Amino acid sequence: MTDAFAFPDGFLWGAATAAHQIEGSPLADGAGPSIWTRFAHTPGLTHNGDTGDVACDHYRRWKDDVRLMRELGLTAYRFSVSWSRVLPEGTGRVNPAGLDFYSRLVDALLEAGIEPLLTLYHWDLPAALDDRGGWLNRDCAGWFAEYATVMAKALDGRVRKWVTLNEPWVITDGGYLHGALAPGHRNKYEAPIASHNLMRAHGAAVQAYRAVGRHEIGLVVNIEPKYPASDAPEDQTATRRAHAYMNEQYLHPALLGHYPPELREIFGDAWPDWPAEDFALIRQPLDFLGINYYTRNVTRADGSWPLKAGAVKQPSATYTETGWEVFPQGLTDTLLWVRRTYGDIPLYVTENGAAFFDPPVAEGGRVRDPLRIDYLRRHLRAVHEAIRAGCDIRGYMVWSLLDNLEWSLGYSKRFGIVHVNYATQQRTVKDSGRWYANVVRSHGRAL
Ligand SMILES: CO[C@H](O)c1c[n+]2c([nH]1)[C@H](O)[C@@H](O)[C@H](O)[C@H]2CO
Protein backbone atom coordinates (compact mmCIF):
# COMPACT_ATOMS: atom_id res chain seq x y z
CA MET A 1 0.00 0.00 0.00
CA THR A 2 1.53 3.34 -0.96
CA ASP A 3 1.86 6.19 1.47
CA ALA A 4 0.42 8.49 -1.18
CA PHE A 5 -2.51 9.19 1.12
CA ALA A 6 -0.95 8.99 4.56
CA PHE A 7 -2.95 11.16 6.96
CA PRO A 8 -1.50 12.85 10.07
CA ASP A 9 -1.13 10.81 13.26
CA GLY A 10 -4.23 11.28 15.43
CA PHE A 11 -6.40 12.25 12.44
CA LEU A 12 -9.99 11.43 13.47
CA TRP A 13 -12.12 9.27 11.19
CA GLY A 14 -15.75 9.71 12.04
CA ALA A 15 -19.35 10.03 11.02
CA ALA A 16 -21.88 12.72 11.83
CA THR A 17 -25.55 12.83 12.76
CA ALA A 18 -27.95 15.24 14.47
CA ALA A 19 -30.46 14.65 17.25
CA HIS A 20 -33.67 15.52 15.45
CA GLN A 21 -32.67 13.55 12.38
CA ILE A 22 -32.02 10.21 14.06
CA GLU A 23 -33.33 10.03 17.64
CA GLY A 24 -37.12 9.84 17.41
CA SER A 25 -39.05 9.86 20.73
CA PRO A 26 -39.02 13.68 20.77
CA LEU A 27 -41.23 13.93 23.87
CA ALA A 28 -40.06 10.85 25.76
CA ASP A 29 -39.06 10.89 29.43
CA GLY A 30 -39.91 14.51 30.08
CA ALA A 31 -38.45 16.07 26.93
CA GLY A 32 -40.04 19.28 25.67
CA PRO A 33 -41.05 19.97 22.04
CA SER A 34 -38.69 21.75 19.65
CA ILE A 35 -39.51 24.00 16.71
CA TRP A 36 -39.06 20.94 14.48
CA THR A 37 -41.65 18.97 16.44
CA ARG A 38 -44.07 21.78 15.63
CA PHE A 39 -42.89 22.48 12.07
CA ALA A 40 -43.07 18.85 10.92
CA HIS A 41 -46.54 18.42 12.43
CA THR A 42 -47.79 21.44 10.52
CA PRO A 43 -49.51 20.08 7.40
CA GLY A 44 -47.74 20.72 4.11
CA LEU A 45 -44.36 21.74 5.48
CA THR A 46 -42.45 18.49 5.05
CA HIS A 47 -42.25 15.90 2.28
CA ASN A 48 -45.07 13.37 2.73
CA GLY A 49 -45.78 14.99 6.12
CA ASP A 50 -42.69 13.15 7.45
CA THR A 51 -41.81 13.90 11.08
CA GLY A 52 -39.05 13.08 13.57
CA ASP A 53 -41.45 11.14 15.79
CA VAL A 54 -39.58 7.88 15.07
CA ALA A 55 -36.72 8.74 12.65
CA CYS A 56 -34.01 6.08 13.19
CA ASP A 57 -35.29 5.31 16.70
CA HIS A 58 -31.79 6.08 17.93
CA TYR A 59 -33.11 7.24 21.32
CA ARG A 60 -33.91 3.57 21.98
CA ARG A 61 -31.38 1.86 19.72
CA TRP A 62 -28.30 3.92 20.63
CA LYS A 63 -26.38 0.95 22.05
CA ASP A 64 -26.73 -0.96 18.75
CA ASP A 65 -25.66 2.15 16.84
CA VAL A 66 -22.53 2.57 18.96
CA ARG A 67 -21.80 -1.11 18.33
CA LEU A 68 -22.17 -0.42 14.60
CA MET A 69 -19.71 2.51 14.84
CA ARG A 70 -17.22 0.28 16.62
CA GLU A 71 -17.59 -2.40 13.94
CA LEU A 72 -16.87 0.26 11.30
CA GLY A 73 -13.76 1.17 13.29
CA LEU A 74 -14.71 4.84 13.66
CA THR A 75 -12.42 6.85 15.92
CA ALA A 76 -14.85 9.77 16.30
CA TYR A 77 -18.58 10.45 16.24
CA ARG A 78 -20.18 13.86 15.79
CA PHE A 79 -23.68 14.11 17.24
CA SER A 80 -25.92 16.85 18.56
CA VAL A 81 -27.85 17.27 21.78
CA SER A 82 -31.56 18.00 21.70
CA TRP A 83 -31.69 21.16 23.83
CA SER A 84 -35.34 20.59 24.80
CA ARG A 85 -34.64 17.02 25.91
CA VAL A 86 -32.27 18.44 28.54
CA LEU A 87 -34.07 21.73 29.26
CA PRO A 88 -37.73 21.13 28.33
CA GLU A 89 -38.57 24.85 28.56
CA GLY A 90 -35.18 25.85 27.16
CA THR A 91 -34.07 27.43 30.43
CA GLY A 92 -34.43 26.66 34.13
CA ARG A 93 -35.59 23.15 34.93
CA VAL A 94 -33.21 20.37 33.84
CA ASN A 95 -34.73 17.03 32.79
CA PRO A 96 -32.47 14.39 34.41
CA ALA A 97 -33.60 11.66 31.99
CA GLY A 98 -32.60 13.82 29.03
CA LEU A 99 -29.16 14.55 30.43
CA ASP A 100 -28.75 10.89 31.35
CA PHE A 101 -29.38 9.79 27.75
CA TYR A 102 -26.41 11.78 26.50
CA SER A 103 -24.24 10.81 29.45
CA ARG A 104 -24.78 7.10 28.74
CA LEU A 105 -24.21 7.65 25.01
CA VAL A 106 -20.89 9.40 25.69
CA ASP A 107 -19.78 6.66 28.09
CA ALA A 108 -20.58 4.00 25.48
CA LEU A 109 -18.62 5.93 22.82
CA LEU A 110 -15.59 6.24 25.09
CA GLU A 111 -15.85 2.56 25.98
CA ALA A 112 -15.74 1.80 22.25
CA GLY A 113 -12.67 4.01 21.75
CA ILE A 114 -14.69 6.63 19.85
CA GLU A 115 -14.05 10.36 20.45
CA PRO A 116 -17.34 12.27 20.91
CA LEU A 117 -17.73 15.62 19.11
CA LEU A 118 -20.78 17.25 20.66
CA THR A 119 -22.81 19.90 18.82
CA LEU A 120 -24.91 21.94 21.21
CA TYR A 121 -27.27 23.31 18.56
CA HIS A 122 -28.23 21.55 15.34
CA TRP A 123 -31.42 23.50 14.48
CA ASP A 124 -33.92 22.14 17.06
CA LEU A 125 -34.64 25.18 19.26
CA PRO A 126 -36.94 24.47 22.23
CA ALA A 127 -40.47 25.50 21.20
CA ALA A 128 -40.85 27.30 24.53
CA LEU A 129 -38.02 29.66 23.57
CA ASP A 130 -39.48 30.23 20.11
CA ASP A 131 -42.64 31.33 21.95
CA ARG A 132 -40.45 33.98 23.61
CA GLY A 133 -39.07 35.20 20.26
CA GLY A 134 -36.44 32.55 19.75
CA TRP A 135 -33.36 33.77 17.86
CA LEU A 136 -35.11 37.11 17.30
CA ASN A 137 -34.91 37.87 21.03
CA ARG A 138 -31.53 39.20 22.19
CA ASP A 139 -32.06 37.19 25.40
CA CYS A 140 -31.24 34.06 23.33
CA ALA A 141 -27.54 34.62 24.05
CA GLY A 142 -28.20 34.12 27.76
CA TRP A 143 -30.49 31.15 27.17
CA PHE A 144 -27.84 29.41 25.03
CA ALA A 145 -25.08 30.20 27.55
CA GLU A 146 -27.19 28.64 30.32
CA TYR A 147 -27.70 25.50 28.24
CA ALA A 148 -23.97 25.33 27.40
CA THR A 149 -23.16 25.58 31.12
CA VAL A 150 -25.52 22.72 31.99
CA MET A 151 -23.94 20.49 29.33
CA ALA A 152 -20.35 21.45 30.17
CA LYS A 153 -20.87 20.73 33.88
CA ALA A 154 -22.38 17.36 33.04
CA LEU A 155 -20.09 16.11 30.29
CA ASP A 156 -16.86 18.10 29.99
CA GLY A 157 -13.84 15.86 30.33
CA ARG A 158 -15.64 12.92 28.78
CA VAL A 159 -16.51 15.23 25.90
CA ARG A 160 -13.40 17.12 24.88
CA LYS A 161 -14.53 18.61 21.56
CA TRP A 162 -17.53 20.91 21.69
CA VAL A 163 -19.34 22.79 18.93
CA THR A 164 -21.69 25.70 19.64
CA LEU A 165 -23.73 26.01 16.43
CA ASN A 166 -24.16 23.90 13.34
CA GLU A 167 -24.38 26.15 10.26
CA PRO A 168 -25.82 29.53 11.33
CA TRP A 169 -26.21 30.31 7.61
CA VAL A 170 -28.70 27.47 7.05
CA ILE A 171 -30.54 28.25 10.31
CA THR A 172 -31.02 31.84 9.15
CA ASP A 173 -31.47 31.46 5.38
CA GLY A 174 -33.78 28.45 5.80
CA GLY A 175 -35.60 29.41 8.98
CA TYR A 176 -35.99 33.18 8.68
CA LEU A 177 -35.36 34.37 5.09
CA HIS A 178 -36.81 31.73 2.75
CA GLY A 179 -38.91 29.81 5.28
CA ALA A 180 -38.09 26.28 4.09
CA LEU A 181 -36.90 25.23 7.56
CA ALA A 182 -38.26 25.70 11.08
CA PRO A 183 -39.51 28.08 12.32
CA GLY A 184 -40.57 28.83 8.71
CA HIS A 185 -40.32 32.62 8.62
CA ARG A 186 -39.87 34.50 5.33
CA ASN A 187 -38.80 37.95 6.40
CA LYS A 188 -35.90 40.05 5.10
CA TYR A 189 -35.97 42.16 8.30
CA GLU A 190 -35.94 39.19 10.67
CA ALA A 191 -33.13 37.25 8.98
CA PRO A 192 -30.24 39.63 9.87
CA ILE A 193 -31.49 39.87 13.46
CA ALA A 194 -31.72 36.09 13.87
CA SER A 195 -28.33 35.69 12.22
CA HIS A 196 -26.64 38.28 14.43
CA ASN A 197 -28.24 36.89 17.57
CA LEU A 198 -27.09 33.39 16.66
CA MET A 199 -23.54 34.70 16.57
CA ARG A 200 -24.02 36.54 19.87
CA ALA A 201 -25.29 33.28 21.32
CA HIS A 202 -22.26 31.48 19.90
CA GLY A 203 -19.95 33.94 21.66
CA ALA A 204 -21.87 33.74 24.93
CA ALA A 205 -21.76 29.93 24.83
CA VAL A 206 -18.00 29.94 24.24
CA GLN A 207 -17.56 32.24 27.25
CA ALA A 208 -19.87 30.06 29.36
CA TYR A 209 -18.05 26.91 28.31
CA ARG A 210 -14.65 28.38 29.16
CA ALA A 211 -15.89 29.23 32.66
CA VAL A 212 -16.57 25.51 33.24
CA GLY A 213 -14.88 23.42 30.56
CA ARG A 214 -11.22 22.62 30.14
CA HIS A 215 -11.20 21.29 26.60
CA GLU A 216 -11.86 22.46 23.04
CA ILE A 217 -14.75 24.43 21.57
CA GLY A 218 -15.42 25.58 18.04
CA LEU A 219 -17.99 26.61 15.46
CA VAL A 220 -19.29 24.63 12.47
CA VAL A 221 -20.11 26.47 9.26
CA ASN A 222 -21.19 25.30 5.82
CA ILE A 223 -19.00 26.65 3.07
CA GLU A 224 -20.01 26.56 -0.58
CA PRO A 225 -17.26 28.07 -2.75
CA LYS A 226 -18.55 30.41 -5.48
CA TYR A 227 -17.01 30.43 -8.96
CA PRO A 228 -18.04 33.20 -11.40
CA ALA A 229 -19.93 31.90 -14.45
CA SER A 230 -18.14 34.47 -16.65
CA ASP A 231 -15.73 37.41 -16.59
CA ALA A 232 -18.66 39.78 -17.02
CA PRO A 233 -18.54 42.43 -14.25
CA GLU A 234 -22.09 41.65 -13.15
CA ASP A 235 -21.22 37.97 -12.68
CA GLN A 236 -18.05 38.87 -10.80
CA THR A 237 -19.90 41.15 -8.37
CA ALA A 238 -22.74 38.63 -7.99
CA THR A 239 -20.17 35.98 -7.10
CA ARG A 240 -18.56 38.28 -4.57
CA ARG A 241 -21.98 39.01 -3.05
CA ALA A 242 -22.88 35.31 -2.82
CA HIS A 243 -19.50 34.47 -1.28
CA ALA A 244 -19.87 37.17 1.36
CA TYR A 245 -23.46 36.14 2.13
CA MET A 246 -22.86 32.41 2.50
CA ASN A 247 -19.20 31.97 3.35
CA GLU A 248 -17.95 35.13 5.09
CA GLN A 249 -21.10 36.23 6.96
CA TYR A 250 -20.29 34.04 9.98
CA LEU A 251 -16.55 33.44 9.91
CA HIS A 252 -15.79 37.16 9.57
CA PRO A 253 -17.53 38.22 12.83
CA ALA A 254 -16.43 35.07 14.68
CA LEU A 255 -12.76 35.36 13.73
CA LEU A 256 -12.22 38.92 12.49
CA GLY A 257 -14.83 40.83 14.53
CA HIS A 258 -16.74 42.45 11.64
CA TYR A 259 -19.15 41.62 8.83
CA PRO A 260 -18.20 41.75 5.15
CA PRO A 261 -19.48 45.05 3.64
CA GLU A 262 -21.62 43.28 1.03
CA LEU A 263 -24.24 42.37 3.65
CA ARG A 264 -25.50 45.94 3.90
CA GLU A 265 -25.73 46.00 0.10
CA ILE A 266 -27.72 42.75 0.08
CA PHE A 267 -30.14 43.62 2.90
CA GLY A 268 -30.32 47.39 2.43
CA ASP A 269 -32.54 49.02 5.06
CA ALA A 270 -33.04 45.58 6.65
CA TRP A 271 -29.40 45.57 7.81
CA PRO A 272 -29.19 47.30 11.22
CA ASP A 273 -26.27 49.21 12.72
CA TRP A 274 -25.09 46.64 15.23
CA PRO A 275 -23.91 47.70 18.71
CA ALA A 276 -20.09 47.69 18.74
CA GLU A 277 -20.01 45.65 21.96
CA ASP A 278 -21.75 42.77 20.16
CA PHE A 279 -18.60 42.07 18.17
CA ALA A 280 -16.49 41.72 21.30
CA LEU A 281 -18.95 39.05 22.46
CA ILE A 282 -19.10 37.28 19.08
CA ARG A 283 -15.34 37.19 18.50
CA GLN A 284 -14.20 34.60 21.05
CA PRO A 285 -10.95 32.63 20.68
CA LEU A 286 -11.81 29.24 19.12
CA ASP A 287 -9.88 25.99 19.34
CA PHE A 288 -11.02 24.75 15.93
CA LEU A 289 -13.40 25.32 13.05
CA GLY A 290 -15.71 22.68 11.61
CA ILE A 291 -16.24 22.95 7.85
CA ASN A 292 -19.27 21.30 6.25
CA TYR A 293 -18.73 20.89 2.50
CA TYR A 294 -21.03 19.30 -0.04
CA THR A 295 -20.75 21.19 -3.31
CA ARG A 296 -19.76 24.36 -5.13
CA ASN A 297 -21.78 27.02 -6.92
CA VAL A 298 -21.03 28.49 -10.35
CA THR A 299 -22.56 31.92 -9.90
CA ARG A 300 -24.06 34.54 -12.21
CA ALA A 301 -26.05 37.71 -11.65
CA ASP A 302 -29.82 37.18 -11.71
CA GLY A 303 -33.01 38.67 -10.31
CA SER A 304 -33.26 36.34 -7.29
CA TRP A 305 -34.30 37.83 -3.93
CA PRO A 306 -32.47 39.28 -2.10
CA LEU A 307 -29.06 38.08 -3.32
CA LYS A 308 -29.45 38.77 -7.07
CA ALA A 309 -27.08 35.84 -7.66
CA GLY A 310 -27.91 32.36 -8.86
CA ALA A 311 -26.35 29.03 -9.84
CA VAL A 312 -25.46 27.91 -13.34
CA LYS A 313 -25.88 24.18 -13.91
CA GLN A 314 -22.77 22.46 -15.26
CA PRO A 315 -23.82 20.23 -18.21
CA SER A 316 -21.04 17.67 -17.92
CA ALA A 317 -21.10 17.35 -14.13
CA THR A 318 -22.57 14.62 -11.90
CA TYR A 319 -25.32 15.80 -9.57
CA THR A 320 -26.56 14.20 -6.37
CA GLU A 321 -30.19 13.50 -5.44
CA THR A 322 -30.31 16.88 -3.69
CA GLY A 323 -29.23 18.60 -6.92
CA TRP A 324 -25.67 19.34 -5.75
CA GLU A 325 -22.79 19.16 -8.22
CA VAL A 326 -20.06 16.66 -7.31
CA PHE A 327 -16.97 18.90 -7.22
CA PRO A 328 -14.19 17.65 -4.91
CA GLN A 329 -11.79 20.41 -5.93
CA GLY A 330 -14.15 22.82 -4.19
CA LEU A 331 -13.32 21.16 -0.87
CA THR A 332 -9.58 21.68 -1.36
CA ASP A 333 -10.21 25.26 -2.49
CA THR A 334 -12.45 25.85 0.56
CA LEU A 335 -9.93 24.53 3.09
CA LEU A 336 -7.13 26.59 1.55
CA TRP A 337 -9.37 29.69 1.49
CA VAL A 338 -10.18 29.30 5.19
CA ARG A 339 -6.48 29.06 6.06
CA ARG A 340 -5.59 32.01 3.79
CA THR A 341 -8.37 34.21 5.18
CA TYR A 342 -8.53 33.29 8.86
CA GLY A 343 -5.10 31.87 9.63
CA ASP A 344 -3.90 28.49 10.75
CA ILE A 345 -6.78 27.51 13.01
CA PRO A 346 -7.17 23.71 13.35
CA LEU A 347 -9.89 22.39 11.05
CA TYR A 348 -12.22 19.41 10.95
CA VAL A 349 -14.32 18.47 7.97
CA THR A 350 -17.40 18.03 10.13
CA GLU A 351 -19.76 17.05 7.29
CA ASN A 352 -19.21 15.72 3.79
CA GLY A 353 -21.40 13.25 1.94
CA ALA A 354 -24.01 12.75 -0.73
CA ALA A 355 -27.53 11.50 -1.31
CA PHE A 356 -27.76 9.17 -4.26
CA PHE A 357 -30.57 6.85 -5.23
CA ASP A 358 -29.64 3.65 -3.38
CA PRO A 359 -31.04 0.30 -4.54
CA PRO A 360 -33.02 -1.74 -2.00
CA VAL A 361 -31.12 -4.11 0.28
CA ALA A 362 -30.20 -7.10 -1.90
CA GLU A 363 -30.22 -10.76 -0.92
CA GLY A 364 -27.43 -11.36 1.58
CA GLY A 365 -27.70 -7.84 2.92
CA ARG A 366 -25.82 -5.74 0.42
CA VAL A 367 -26.55 -2.15 -0.64
CA ARG A 368 -24.52 -1.29 -3.69
CA ASP A 369 -23.77 2.46 -3.68
CA PRO A 370 -20.77 2.98 -6.01
CA LEU A 371 -21.59 6.65 -6.60
CA ARG A 372 -21.26 7.37 -2.89
CA ILE A 373 -17.95 5.49 -2.70
CA ASP A 374 -16.66 7.55 -5.64
CA TYR A 375 -17.89 10.77 -4.01
CA LEU A 376 -16.27 9.98 -0.66
CA ARG A 377 -12.99 8.76 -2.18
CA ARG A 378 -12.61 11.90 -4.30
CA HIS A 379 -13.46 14.21 -1.40
CA LEU A 380 -11.12 12.47 1.00
CA ARG A 381 -8.37 12.82 -1.58
CA ALA A 382 -9.28 16.51 -1.78
CA VAL A 383 -8.83 16.74 2.01
CA HIS A 384 -5.45 15.10 1.70
CA GLU A 385 -4.45 17.61 -0.99
CA ALA A 386 -5.26 20.44 1.41
CA ILE A 387 -3.24 18.75 4.16
CA ARG A 388 -0.30 18.44 1.78
CA ALA A 389 -0.70 22.16 0.98
CA GLY A 390 -0.31 22.99 4.69
CA CYS A 391 -3.82 22.98 6.18
CA ASP A 392 -4.00 21.73 9.78
CA ILE A 393 -6.89 19.30 9.25
CA ARG A 394 -7.49 17.02 12.21
CA GLY A 395 -10.42 14.90 11.20
CA TYR A 396 -13.17 14.00 8.76
CA MET A 397 -16.81 13.18 9.60
CA VAL A 398 -18.82 11.59 6.83
CA TRP A 399 -22.42 12.75 6.58
CA SER A 400 -24.02 10.55 7.60
CA LEU A 401 -23.64 7.42 9.71
CA LEU A 402 -27.27 6.47 9.06
CA ASP A 403 -29.90 7.28 6.46
CA ASN A 404 -32.01 9.78 8.38
CA LEU A 405 -34.61 12.56 8.36
CA GLU A 406 -33.47 15.14 5.82
CA TRP A 407 -35.43 17.99 7.44
CA SER A 408 -38.19 19.30 5.13
CA LEU A 409 -37.29 16.65 2.55
CA GLY A 410 -38.33 14.00 5.04
CA TYR A 411 -37.01 10.48 4.45
CA SER A 412 -36.79 10.95 0.68
CA LYS A 413 -33.02 11.49 0.62
CA ARG A 414 -30.53 8.92 1.86
CA PHE A 415 -27.04 10.14 2.93
CA GLY A 416 -26.06 7.22 5.15
CA ILE A 417 -23.15 4.83 4.82
CA VAL A 418 -25.57 2.56 6.68
CA HIS A 419 -29.01 1.88 5.21
CA VAL A 420 -32.03 2.19 7.51
CA ASN A 421 -35.26 0.31 6.80
CA TYR A 422 -37.64 2.78 8.46
CA ALA A 423 -40.42 0.19 8.70
CA THR A 424 -38.31 -2.33 10.62
CA GLN A 425 -35.43 -0.09 11.80
CA GLN A 426 -33.07 -2.73 10.38
CA ARG A 427 -29.60 -1.28 9.81
CA THR A 428 -27.56 -2.59 6.83
CA VAL A 429 -24.00 -1.40 6.22
CA LYS A 430 -23.83 -0.20 2.62
CA ASP A 431 -20.85 -0.93 0.35
CA SER A 432 -19.76 2.66 1.11
CA GLY A 433 -19.74 1.83 4.82
CA ARG A 434 -17.51 -1.19 4.24
CA TRP A 435 -15.30 0.88 1.97
CA TYR A 436 -15.04 3.66 4.57
CA ALA A 437 -14.21 1.13 7.30
CA ASN A 438 -11.30 -0.05 5.17
CA VAL A 439 -10.10 3.51 4.62
CA VAL A 440 -10.26 4.11 8.38
CA ARG A 441 -8.42 0.85 9.11
CA SER A 442 -5.63 1.87 6.70
CA HIS A 443 -5.59 5.45 8.08
CA GLY A 444 -6.34 6.70 4.58
CA ARG A 445 -3.78 4.68 2.66
CA ALA A 446 -6.53 2.63 1.00
CA LEU A 447 -7.74 5.75 -0.83
C1 LIG B 1 -26.48 23.37 2.31
O2 LIG B 1 -25.76 22.19 2.63
C3 LIG B 1 -25.30 22.21 3.95
O4 LIG B 1 -23.93 22.32 4.01
C5 LIG B 1 -25.76 21.02 4.71
C6 LIG B 1 -26.05 19.73 4.29
N7 LIG B 1 -26.45 19.08 5.40
C8 LIG B 1 -26.43 19.95 6.45
N9 LIG B 1 -25.97 21.11 6.01
C10 LIG B 1 -26.92 19.68 7.83
O11 LIG B 1 -25.91 19.98 8.78
C12 LIG B 1 -27.42 18.26 7.98
O13 LIG B 1 -28.31 18.24 9.08
C14 LIG B 1 -28.06 17.79 6.66
O15 LIG B 1 -28.69 16.54 6.81
C16 LIG B 1 -26.95 17.70 5.59
C17 LIG B 1 -27.41 17.10 4.28
O18 LIG B 1 -28.30 17.97 3.65
Q: Give pLDDT tens digits for 229-244.
A: 999 999 999 999 999 9
Please tell me the distance between residue 322's alpha carbon and the centre of ligand 1 in angstroms. 10
Please tell me the distance between residue 159's alpha carbon and the centre of ligand 1 in angstroms. 23
The CA–CA distances, whole Å, from 317 to 278, 325, 368, 426 equal 43, 6, 22, 34
CB 432 within 8 A of CB 376: yes
Rounded to whole angstroms, the Cα distance separating 293 from 157 reads 29
Taken in order 99, 31, 79, 185, is the CA torsion positive or negative?
A: negative
Query: What residue's CA is closest to ligand 1, atom 4?
Result: 222
H or E segment to which residue 184 belongs:
none
Residue ranges in the chain modelled with pLDDT below 70: 1-3
Q: Which atom of ligand 1 is nearest to the CA of 404?
A: 15
Q: Give residue 3's pLDDT.
A: 60
Q: Give residue 409's pLDDT.
A: 98
Q: Give residue 4's pLDDT.
A: 75
Per-position DSSP letters for 197-220, written without gaps between them: HHHHHHHHHHHHHHHH--SEEEEE
- Confirm whether 167 is a catalytic residue: yes
Q: Give residue 6's pLDDT.
A: 85
Please tell me the distance between residue 175's alpha carbon and the centre of ligand 1 in angstroms. 14
Taken in order 178, 184, 186, 192, is the CA torsion positive or negative?
A: negative
Give the mutation target among 17, 50, 79, 167 for probing the ligand 1 site: most ligand atoms within 8 A of CB. 167
CB 222 within 8 A of CB 292: yes
222: Cβ below 6 Å to ligand 1? yes
Q: Which atom of ligand 1 is nearest to the CA of 294?
A: 4
Q: What value of ipTM does the predicted structure carry?
A: 0.99
Please tell me the distance between residue 273's alpha carbon and the centre of ligand 1 in angstroms. 30
50: Cβ below 6 Å to ligand 1? no
170: Cβ below 6 Å to ligand 1? yes
Q: Give residue 367's pLDDT.
A: 98
Residue 9 DSSP label = T
408: Cβ below 6 Å to ligand 1? no
Taken in order 190, 195, 200, 206, is the CA torsion positive or negative?
A: positive
* Residue from 23, 224, 262, 351 carrying the catalytic annotation: 351
* Residue from 115, 167, 248, 262 carrying the catalytic annotation: 167
Please tell me the distance between residue 270's alpha carbon and the centre of ligand 1 in angstroms. 27
Tell if the pTM clears 0.80, that is, is over it.
Answer: yes
91: Cβ below 6 Å to ligand 1? no
φ, ψ of residue 162 in degrees (nearest 5): -115, 145
Query: What residue's CA is closest to ligand 1, atom 17?
Result: 406
Q: Which atom of ligand 1 is nearest to the CA of 123?
A: 13
Q: Give residue 1's pLDDT.
A: 41
Q: Give residue 427's pLDDT.
A: 98
